[in-house]
């Protein structure tokens, strides 16, 4: 497995690797953040934008944006779905198509698709979940936040 990961990552340019490793946290909050990054790395702003687009197209990243504590702006909930394995990718694609879905991931469980929905108010949150159920034909189990734990999802990548 380790060799496979190295071979996949060996296809990334040095700029791709720097962007993935150096900007998981402390993304510049400036008028032109990509220019700020470019200046820090000694490359052009266009190169940074192109590299982020390539990382997105290759599914190394899914979004660039802030992580906000749950329910501090709007409302959110964790959702789990039980999806047959052969339909998992298609259902995950539907779930990912919603801008209100922060991220989704597969887990080894009967409830194998998990995701977070964030909306400006509870009614909008419920309408998104209802739409996902209607579009996919599968029920959503909502798991609202009871206790808040912070897990730092940034990690150093070793190339």
Same domain flag for 84 and 31:
no
Contact 34, 49 (CB under 8 A): yes
Same domain flag for 25 and 81:
no
DSSP state of 114: E
Task: Output the domain CATH number for residue 79.
Answer: 3.30.70.3460
In this structure, is residue 69 part of a structural domain? no
- pLDDT exceeds cutoff 70 at 103: yes
45 Cβ contact list (under 8 Å, min separation 6): 32, 34, 35, 38
Domain boundary residue among 57, 83, 103?
57
Q: How many domains does the chain have?
A: 2
Q: How far apart are CA 86 and CA 72, in angstroms?
A: 37
Cα torsion 24, 40, 52, 119 to 10°: value is 50
In this structure, is residue 24 part of a structural domain? yes
In this structure, is residue 86 part of a structural domain? yes
Give the domain extent around 24: 2-57
- pLDDT exceeds cutoff 70 at 2: no
Span 8-66, pLDDT tens digits: 566 899 999 999 989 988 899 999 999 999 999 999 999 999 999 999 898 888 778 77
Give which of 15, 2, 105 is closest to 51, Cα–Cα.
15
Rounded percentage of the chain residues whose pLDDT exceeds 70: 86
Q: How far apart are CA 81 and CA 16, in angstroms?
A: 33
Same domain flag for 42 and 89:
no
């Amino acid at each position: 497995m380790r060799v496979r990961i190295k071979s996949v990552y060996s296809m990334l340019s040095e700029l791709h690797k720097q962007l993935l490793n150096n900007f998981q946290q402390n993304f510049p909050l400036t008028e032109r953040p990509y220019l700020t990054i470019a200046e820090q790395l000694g490359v052009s702003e266009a190169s940074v934008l192109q590299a982020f687009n390539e990382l997105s197209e290759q599914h190394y990243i899914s979004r660039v944006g802030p992580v906000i504590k749950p329910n501090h702006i709007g409302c959110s909930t964790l959702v789990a779905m039980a999806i047959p394995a052969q339909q998992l990718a298609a259902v995950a694609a539907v779930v990912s198509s919603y801008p209100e879905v922060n991220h989704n991931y597969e887990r080894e469980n009967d409830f194998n698709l998990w995701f977070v929905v964030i909306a400006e108010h509870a009614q909008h949150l419920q309408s998104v979940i209802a739409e996902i159920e209607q579009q996919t034909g599968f029920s959503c189990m909502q798991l609202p936040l009871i206790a808040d734990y912070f897990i730092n999802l940034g990690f150093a990548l070793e190339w």
